[in-house]
């Protein structure tokens, strides 16, 4: 099975900041990576798929990049409504797996 | 507008069984594969199972193989997860999720609100 290592596990930033989360796969997954946002008490929401494609309706301040084993997720100009936990998920293998999550908080 | 509504969760004892349902609306259910994903209290996400649009191909996380069965009834627009021999470590919120498209069947595009399963003596 493919293991996903996500960092940091928590992050505190101010409104307007640019924040970056990284995700590393234990083996090459090409660009088969998605990012999800989960607000407290809510279901996850797809933000990005195929490493860098923005899902319909998702604000352009969210972006993703990477291929192979190393991936990056960025929020430019952080907004109060971005307070959430973010997860990466690989689909290079039929046994889907998620990173451990990054809890985003406002300073 | 895609809507997914899970039901059937509850409190059961170890070794018991439970069946979850996911009612779908707002899209052509019979044309989309579906997943189950779970989240233990305060923990991260764990993929559980997938069923193809026609119910023919099914895939499972190793930890639930032989105990859980994913199925669907396209005439009722409903997805199921039959869970047997439940263990305390199966305690979680269980989400159903719709794939993004027929070619993007491993991308979880829409999620339900989840149903809580608690396995405890």
pLDDT in tens, A14-49: 999 999 999 999 999 999 999 999 999 999 999 999
Question: How does residue A10 score in pLDDT terms, banded at 50, 70 and 90?
Answer: very high
Please tell me the distance in Å from B17's CA to the nearest CA on chain A.
24
What are the chain B neighbours of A95 within 8 Å (beta carbons)? Answer: 47, 59, 61-62
Pick the more confident residue, B103 or A87.
A87
**What local confidence, expressed as pLDDT, does residue A35 receive?**
98
Contact A98 B44 (CB under 8 A): yes
Q: Which of B36, B43, B44 to mutate to test the interface with A (most CBs of A within 10 A)?
A: B44
Average per-residue pLDDT in chain B?
A: 97
Q: What is the pLDDT of residues B63-80, one digit of tens each?
A: 999 999 999 999 999 999
Q: Which residues are registered as beta bridge partners of A70?
A: A24, A67
Backbone phi, psi, residue B105, to 5°: -85, 0
**What local confidence, expressed as pLDDT, does residue A44 receive?**
98
Asked if residue A65 has pLDDT above 90, the reply is: yes
Q: Which of A6, A32, A44 to mutate to test the interface with B (most CBs of B within 10 A)?
A: A44
Q: CA geometry: angle at A100 spanning A99 and A101, to 5°? A: 95
The tokens describing A74, both together, are 């960025």
**What local confidence, expressed as pLDDT, does residue A94 receive?**
87
**What local confidence, expressed as pLDDT, does residue B102 receive?**
82
Assess contact for A93 and A2: CB atoms under 8 A: yes
Asked if residue B103 has pLDDT above 90, the reply is: no
Asked if residue B93 has pLDDT above 90, the reply is: yes
**What local confidence, expressed as pLDDT, does residue B3 receive?**
98
The tokens describing B111, both together, are 């999620």
Q: Which residues are registered as beta bridge partners of B70?
A: B81
Please tell me the distance in Å from B77's CA to the nearest CA on chain A.
20
């Amino acid at each position: 099975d493919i293991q996903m290592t996500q960092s940091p596990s928590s992050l505190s930033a101010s409104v307007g900041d640019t924040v970056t989360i990284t995700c590393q796969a234990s083996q090459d997954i090409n660009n088969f990576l998605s990012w999800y946002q989960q607000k407290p008490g809510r279901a996850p929401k797809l933000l990005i798929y195929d490493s860098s494609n923005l899902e319909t309706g998702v604000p352009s301040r969210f972006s993703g990049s990477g291929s192979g084993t190393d991936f990056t997720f960025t929020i430019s100009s952080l907004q109060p409504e971005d307070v959430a936990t973010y997860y990466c998920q690989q689909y290079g293998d039929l046994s889907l797996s998620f990173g451990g999550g990054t809890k985003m908080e406002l300073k | 507008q895609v809507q997914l509504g899970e039901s059937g969760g509850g409190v059961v004892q170890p070794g018991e069984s439970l069946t979850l349902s996911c009612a779908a609306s707002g899209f052509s259910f019979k044309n989309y594969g579906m997943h189950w994903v779970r989240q233990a209290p305060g923990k991260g996400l764990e993929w559980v199972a997938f069923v193809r649009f026609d119910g023919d191909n099914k895939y499972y996380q190793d930890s639930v193989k032989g105990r859980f069965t994913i199925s669907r009834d396209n005439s009722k627009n409903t997805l199921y997860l039959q869970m047997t021999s439940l263990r305390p470590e199966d305690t979680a919120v269980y989400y159903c999720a719709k794939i993004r498209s027929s070619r993007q069947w491993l991308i979880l595009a829409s999620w339900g609100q989840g149903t809580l399963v608690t396995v405890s003596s």
